[in-house]
Amino acid sequence: MKKIIVACGGAVATSTLAAEKIRELCQREGIAADVQQCRIPEIPSRASEVDLIVTTARVDADYGKPTLHGIAFVSGIGEEALEEKILAVLR
């Protein structure tokens, strides 16, 4: 089981969009994944227990875990490239 957190400013709008897309992607590719949402400031306290961090906001911090910028899921531009990156981390 892969653990993924998806973070944005308020843990509501953009992270829900991105989380939903990642859930669909994992289902399609047959990857068992637990996708959860949180706010950006909550990442550091949860980073140790996850396999992948996706943020819809731009963050420069290094959380010691693979971190991807998930804006493509929100804007719809470059979605496939991002999906490839996510799969590369999860596989």
- Tokens describing residue 63: 């959380």
Site string for other proteins, 6-35 (x = CB under 8 A): -xxxxxxxxxxx--x---------------
In whole angstroms, give the CA distance from residue 71 to residue 77.
Answer: 8
42 is a site residue for other proteins (CB under 8 A): yes
> Which is nearest to 81 in space by CA: 31, 25, 32?
25
In whole angstroms, give the CA distance from residue 41 to residue 31.
Answer: 28
- Catalytic residue status for 38: no
Residue from 31, 47, 74, 89 in contact with other proteins (CB under 8 A): 74
Site of interaction with other proteins (CB under 8 A): 7-17, 20, 37, 39-42, 44-45, 55-61, 71, 74-77
